[in-house]
Amino acid sequence: MGIRGRFGLLKARDYLQENAPSLPIKKGRLFIGAKRGCPLRTFAIVNQKGGCGKTTTSINLAALYARRGLRTLLIDMDPQAHCAAGLGVPEEQIEKNIGDAMVANHDDSLDKEEYLWEISRNLHLAPSTMMLTALEAPGGALQNMPDRDRRLNSLLRLWGNDFDRCVIDCPPNIGLLTYNALRAATETLIPVETGFFSLRGARKQRKTVDALVARIGKPLPCRIIPSIHRPSPLARTLLQRLQETFGEEVSPTVIRDHETLREAASFGQPVCEFAPGSDAESDFEALVNWLESIHEEEAPIVEVANGTGSRAAELALRVGSQSRQADIIGRIQPKEENDGAKF
Ligand SMILES: Nc1ncnc2c1ncn2[C@@H]1O[C@H](COP(=O)(O)OP(=O)(O)OP(=O)(O)O)[C@@H](O)[C@H]1O
Ligand SMILES: [Mg+2]
């Protein structure tokens, strides 16, 4: 069951206390965040075709990233609000949805806690509600804004430093909400059910994304995730055709058809909580492994401010780069294993 919780510096502190127990963090100020200047790695999960596994992929990808210790934001851009349902958040208790955050002022006055639900450690949900439909309708609050197609991007610029990964679940249509998601994304993932019309659907969807990306005017890597794959001869042939047609854009791992995923959703849990060790979990693990392998980036940076003789300060001086800010004396990569100190 989702529990709304405090969010912010306290979380960063919790993260450090658990991950760096040997560091006397009270003595120095420590900041964790996405590397400055790098956009938050953001996946838009899109496909106009309904029921192809967008929400299932969004929830389970986000939950697995969170379990790996990456601070993950799951954004539901679909008025059907299936992410909340799939994570046990009661819709009637959602006071503010992602649409409210999009049309709010994007400055320090915007309080994240009002919009985000803490689902589990490292996993936050920006839920949607049916009200999102009104927002994008003609005359709706979003439609009336001059930067209507960039409001999610603007919001993520504000929240970007608080997260390491962001997953956006899109509705099964291309409207202003999906357009906002694509503008905010750094990558698109298209789940494609390996069913009878899959190849045609995938081609159409790929063209649509291409057209949208051309309008947006920024490169946006696009990947196809074979989903709800059943081990029938037809499904295998269709998978092969997908691979021939889209080559390296197709994920080498497929999400098979698992009853466990349907059960997990009905219990309001991601599969890594509902059925740890299951085949369904391992399919999504493989997907995360692949996504990470094609995007080797530096580990998040811990910036260490001047503190008197702290172990963190000592380490930062030894391994960190000099910062332009006078009060920050160095940066440490949490993966760094200098001196056997693990973050
Ligand atoms: N790999 C899978 N194995 C078994 N069932 C799955 C799998 N992926 C999704 N499902 C089930 O298929 C149904 C549709 O999945 P999901 O809601 O993720 O699709 P969607 O693309 O988000 O749909 P929509 O377009 O309506 O938003 C759900 O009942 C879900 O539990
Ligand atoms: Mg959905």
Quick one: pLDDT at residue 198?
83
Q: Give first-to-last CA distance, the chain, whole Å.
A: 29
The answer to whether the beta carbons of residues 152 and 180 sit under 8 Å apart is yes
Domain locations along the chain: 16-38+301-343, 39-293
Quick one: pLDDT at residue 200?
87
State pTM to two decimals.
0.79
pLDDT by 10s per residue, the chain, length 343: 333 433 333 333 343 334 333 332 222 223 334 444 568 999 999 999 999 999 999 999 999 999 999 999 999 999 999 999 999 999 999 999 999 999 999 999 999 999 999 999 999 999 999 999 999 899 999 998 999 999 999 999 999 999 999 999 999 999 999 999 999 999 999 999 998 788 888 999 999 999 998 998 888 999 999 999 998 999 999 999 999 999 999 999 999 999 999 999 999 999 999 999 999 999 999 999 999 999 865 444 444 455 544 544 454 444 333 343 444 444 444 333 322 222 1
Strand order in the sheet with 222-227: 117-120, 123-126, 72-76, 165-169, 41-45, 187-193, 222-227
Q: Which stretches of 236-288 are assigned E, i.e. beta strand? A: none
Quick one: pLDDT at residue 7?
38
State the residue for tokens 């709010």: 104
Quick one: pLDDT at residue 335?
35
Ligand 1 centre from 185 Cα, in Å?
Answer: 22
Pocket flag, ligand 1, residue 51 (CB < 6 Å): yes
What is the distance between the alpha carbons of residues 239 and 194, in angstroms, rounded to a whole number? 6
Q: Are strands 222-227 and 187-193 parallel, antiparallel or unpaired?
A: parallel
Cα–Cα distances (Å) from 202 to 87, 191, 196, 258, 327, in that order, read 28, 9, 11, 22, 51
Q: Which residue is closest in CA terms to ligand 1's atom 23?
A: 51
Token pair belonging to 141: 């609050």
Ligand 2 centre from 120 Cα, in Å?
Answer: 21
Q: What is the number of the ligand 1 atom nearest to the C-alpha of 80?
A: 27
Question: Which residues crowd ion ligand 2, with CB under 5 Å?
Answer: 54-55, 82
R_g over Cα of the chain: 21
What is the distance between the alpha carbons of residues 212 and 235, in angstroms, rounded to a whole number? 29
Q: Which residue is closest in CA terms to ligand 1's atom 14?
A: 51
Pocket flag, ligand 1, residue 269 (CB < 6 Å): no
What is the distance between the alpha carbons of residues 248 and 224, in angstroms, rounded to a whole number? 9
Quick one: pLDDT at residue 37?
56
Tens digits of residue pLDDT in 215-234? 988 889 999 999 999 989 99
Q: Which residue is closest in CA terms to ligand 1's atom 25?
A: 50
Point out the ligand nearest to the CA of residue 173: 1
Quick one: pLDDT at residue 164?
97
Q: Which residue is closest in CA terms to ligand 1's atom 30?
A: 262
What is the distance between the alpha carbons of residues 276 and 328, in angstroms, rounded to a whole number? 41
CATH superfamily of 39-293: P-loop containing nucleotide triphosphate hydrolases (3.40.50.300)
In degrees and rounded to multiples of 5, residue 51 shows phi and psi of: 70, 25
Strand order in the sheet with 301-305: 30-33, 301-305, 328-332
Secondary structure element (H or E) that encloses residue 33, with its range? strand 30-33
